[in-house]
Amino acid sequence: MIPVTRLNGTELYVNSDLVETVEATPDTVVTLTTGKKLVVLESVDDVVERMVQFRRRINVALQPPSE
């Protein structure tokens, strides 16, 4: 889950597995696989970076312990 901020300032968490597209129109619009669209304050680059960091944390957590 990644945090994003709606235009009214409320924060919500989005399941990054459900993100289909992120585009600037000029507002940042996150489209989910469900068809729902979220307009957020973060830039496209910020949303993508949060998704990358989240996936890195998941991948590290899934790595077997080194001996």
Q: What is the pLDDT of residues 8-62, one digit of tens each?
A: 999 999 999 999 999 999 999 999 999 999 999 999 999 999 999 999 998 887 7
Residues 6+ apart with CB under 8 A from 7: 27, 39, 40, 41
- Evaluate if residue 67 carries a pLDDT over 70: no
Which tokens is 38 given? 């979220």
Across the strands, what pairs with 30?
22, 38
Q: How far is the C-alpha of 10 from the C-alpha of 29, rounded, in Å?
A: 15
pTM of the model: 0.86
Name the 3-class secondary structure at 45. helix
Distance CA 45, CA 28 (A): 10
Position 66 pLDDT exceeds 80: no
Query: Over 70: is that where the pLDDT of 6 sits?
Result: yes
pLDDT top residue among 13 and 65:
13
